[in-house]
Structures are given as C-alpha cells and as structure tokens.
C-alpha cells in the first residue's frame, strides 16, 4: 500500500514554519535520503525569501519545478548575470504549470504570493559540495546587498510581465 507523502495539513504546517524562519522558506524532503537516485522535495517560500541565482553544473539531468500552491517567478540569466526571461509558475495567470530546467542554466525562483509552495525533482544522489554553483555576479543570501538585489529582480519581473505583478488595486 502506498503511504501519502504530503497531506494538505503538512503543507499548511510547512508554510507556517517557513514564515517563522529568518530565511522565510523551508523545504521538506520527500525522498528517503541523499543517496536516492531521484531527489524530491517541497519548498514553502514567502515573497521576501531570497534564493541566490545559481546553476546545477554537476548534474546531467533536468530539474523539474511545479507550483503546488501560490505562484512563483522563475528567472533565467545569461552568463554575465543579466536577467533574460521570467516565467510564472502557478496562479491564475501562469505561463507554465511545470517546467523542466536544463542543467547549467543560471536561475532563481521568487515567490510571488504569500504561502507559495514549490515541488522540485532532480537526479541524485545529493552532494552538498556539488549541488549548486553560486552566481559570481549576485550577492550571497546573507550579504548586505541581498535585500536590494531581490527588490531589483522583483521590479524587473513586475515591469516586464505585468501579469506577474502582486495584487494591485485599480480603483
């Protein structure tokens, strides 16, 4: 018999816990451990959470992303750090419901709505020293410039893709 891996109440609890953390996000592994050939996890994120741009240079397979709740902007960058494309995952105006991201692509994900939850899958095994390559042109997560950089990325997304703007009143 198959056991459920993730119930709605577990997702609610993950969101609640993420909101209380300084990083404003929290992931939950759905796989048994780092040696699993398929790494699966959910990541609850708030709009003020910053995931520094990165790429998965050591992986030979794609990373699959799916918005379970809320909405996200997936931002793709060129090698110099210029944002080139933003795709909305989830929500009523989604560009995509699921995206497969090729290895070696510079990217980041921004939550566009409170309580957003992203499902991720990628090949394993997970090795922390090779999982991500940080973008040399972006501030690290705890750098003093991280908050301003995140704000600039959001502005870039909102300016170019009006449909991913946060809830804006027209009255």
Nearest to 42 by CA among 18, 60, 76, 58: 18
- Going by C-beta distance under 8 Å and a sequence separation of 6 or more, which residues neighbour residue 163? 88, 93
pLDDT at 129: 72
Check: CB of residue 56 under 8 Å from CB of residue 121: no
Please count the other Cβ atoms lying within 10 Å of the Cβ belonging to residue 54.
17
Q: Poorest-confidence range of 4-18, 104-118, 132-146, 153-167?
A: 153-167
Q: What is the pTM of this model?
A: 0.88
Domains assigned to the chain: 8-163 (2.60.120.10)
pLDDT at 162: 58
**CA–CA dist 87, 74 (Å, integer):** 5
**CA–CA dist 69, 73 (Å, integer):** 13
**CA–CA dist 79, 146 (Å, integer):** 19
Q: How does pLDDT run across 56-110, given as a tens digit for each residue? A: 876 677 889 999 999 999 999 999 999 999 999 998 777 778 899 888 899 999 9
Longest CA span, the chain? 54
**CA–CA dist 125, 12 (Å, integer):** 28
- Going by C-beta distance under 8 Å and a sequence separation of 6 or more, which residues neighbour residue 10? 28
């Amino acid at each position: 018999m198959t056991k459920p891996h993730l119930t709605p109440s577990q997702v609610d609890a993950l969101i609640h816990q993420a909101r209380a953390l300084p990083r404003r996000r929290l992931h939950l592994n759905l796989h048994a451990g780092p040696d699993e050939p398929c790494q699966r996890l959910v990541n609850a994120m708030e709009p003020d959470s910053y995931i520094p741009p990165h790429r998965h240079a050591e992986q030979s397979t794609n990373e699959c992303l799916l918005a379970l709740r809320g909405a996200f902007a997936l931002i793709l960058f060129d090698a110099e750090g210029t944002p080139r494309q933003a795709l909305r995952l989830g929500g009523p105006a989604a560009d995509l419901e699921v995206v497969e991201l090729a290895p070696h692509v510079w990217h980041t994900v921004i939550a566009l709505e409170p309580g957003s939850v992203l499902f991720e899958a990628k090949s394993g095994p997970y090795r922390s020293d090779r999982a991500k390559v940080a973008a040399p042109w972006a501030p690290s997560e705890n750098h003093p410039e991280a908050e301003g950089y995140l704000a600039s990325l959001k502005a870039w997304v909102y300016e170019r893709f009006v449909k991913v703007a946060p809830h804006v009143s027209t009255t």
